[in-house]
């Protein structure tokens, strides 16, 4: 994630920029935020205190925090907590939205055989998660499939979007 720090009525030191960038780098672990995302950070005076505003555009909306504190370090920490809470709420909202669809589509899913075609090989790291999290990750990235390792069985699996609007699951045996 890229970070742009601006100061209004206040000079922003290099140490302050480095601390803000370091703290915001912890948000890179969330799938909502990719390498091309640019976080806009505004630091300004608010009376005797400092006001810190952070805005991060994501694939599903904006993450925003606004904190007023007398210490910049406390304002940064509080802002990061607020942003992580917003990310957790987005994840919960997405999983609830797809919960009923998942149950119906996996119960009625039939295996589909596809004809063999030439495929480009790409190597990727595979994370452990359950099927619902994999579908949520796929939806957040706006992909048609997602590869993951099932937590319960340890099996490599692929979840994909079907043409009928449902989801399919392929498990390696």
- Give the span between the Cα atoms of 27 and 96, in whole angstroms: 23
pLDDT by 10s per residue, the chain, length 173: 888 998 888 888 899 899 988 888 877 776 666 778 888 999 998 889 999 999 888 776 778 899 999 988 899 999 989 988 888 887 777 666 666 665 555 555 555 566 667 777 778 888 899 998 899 888 887 888 999 999 988 899 999 999 888 899 999 88
Beta bridge partners of 12: none
H or E element: which one contains 138?
helix 131-141
Structure tokens at 80: 């990061």
**DSSP type of residue 137:** H
H or E element: which one contains 100?
helix 72-108
Non-local CB neighbours of 8 within 8 Å, separated by 6+ positions: 42, 43, 44, 45
Beta bridge partners of 67: 52
Q: What domains, with CATH codes, occur in the chain?
A: 2-90 (3.30.160.100), 122-171 (3.30.505.50)
Give the distance, in angstroms, between the CA of residue 71 and the centroid of all CA atoms in the same chain: 29
Give the predicted TM-score (pTM) of the model.
0.54
Q: Which of 112, 122, 99, 124 is nearest to 169 (CA)?
A: 112
Q: Which of 84, 42, 49 is nearest to 66 (CA)?
A: 42
């Amino acid at each position: 994630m890229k970070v742009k720090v601006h100061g209004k009525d206040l000079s922003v030191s290099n140490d302050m920029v480095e601390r803000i960038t370091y703290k915001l780098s912890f948000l890179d672990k969330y799938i909502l935020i990719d390498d091309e995302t640019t976080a806009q950070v505004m630091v300004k005076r608010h009376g005797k205190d400092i006001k810190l505003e952070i805005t991060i555009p994501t694939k599903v909306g904006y993450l925003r925090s606004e904190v007023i504190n007398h210490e910049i370090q406390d304002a940064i920490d509080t802002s990061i907590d607020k942003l992580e809470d917003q990310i957790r709420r987005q994840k919960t909202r997405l999983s609830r939205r797809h919960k009923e669809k998942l149950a119906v589509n996996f119960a009625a899913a039939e295996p589909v055989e596809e004809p063999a075609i030439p495929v480009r090989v790409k190597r990727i790291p595979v994370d452990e998660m359950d099927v619902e999290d994999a579908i949520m990750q796929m939806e957040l990235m706006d992909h048609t499939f997602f590869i993951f390792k099932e937590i319960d069985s340890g099996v490599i699996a692929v979840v994909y979007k079907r043409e009928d609007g449902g989801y399919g699951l392929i498990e390696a045996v």
